[in-house]
Structures are given as C-alpha cells and as structure tokens.
C-alpha cells in the first residue's frame, strides 16, 4: 500500500506505471495470466491494451492550447 500511495500521488510515476503495465501485459506468458493463483483470470480474458493511453490521446486530440494536462 505504501508503494501504491507513492505511485498514485506522483503524476510522473503514475504515467510511467500505466505505460509500463500496458506494454508488460502483452508480453507476459499466458500461464502467468491464467494460472490457478489468479482466480479472476481463470474466468476471463484480459482485453488487449489500447495502442496509447487516454492522456496521450487527449494531448493529441483535445488539448487546443498544447499545454501539458
């Protein structure tokens, strides 16, 4: 919880974590995602990560002033 609090309280750390997690899920072996230890994963397929984060999309499409959000 302490590590989660640190990541969630820092915009830079949060952005890095989101981008890393999206890329990491694509490269995890299937047995790690859908093992007996992952009760949620046994019943569901993890959706593919989008090609870019919401923030990346926002900065490209919805931010008329070009300032960082």
21-66 pLDDT, tens digit per residue, is 877 777 777 777 777 887 777 777 777 777 888 888 888 888 666 5
Which of 52, 3, 44 minimizes the C-alpha distance to 23?
52
Residues 6+ apart with CB under 8 A from 41: 33, 34, 35
pTM of the model as a whole:
0.53
Alpha-carbon span 44 to 39, nearest angstrom? 9
Rounded to 5 degrees, what angle do the CA atoms 24, 25, 29 make?
A: 100
Distance from C-alpha of 21 to C-alpha of 33, rounded to nearest angstrom = 13
């Amino acid at each position: 919880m302490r590590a989660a609090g640190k990541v969630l309280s820092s915009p830079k750390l949060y952005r890095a974590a989101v981008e890393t997690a999206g890329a990491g899920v694509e490269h995890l072996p299937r047995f790690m995602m859908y093992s007996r230890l992952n009760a949620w994963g046994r019943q569901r397929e993890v959706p593919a990560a989008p090609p870019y984060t919401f923030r990346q999309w926002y900065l490209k499409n919805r931010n008329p002033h070009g300032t960082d959000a």
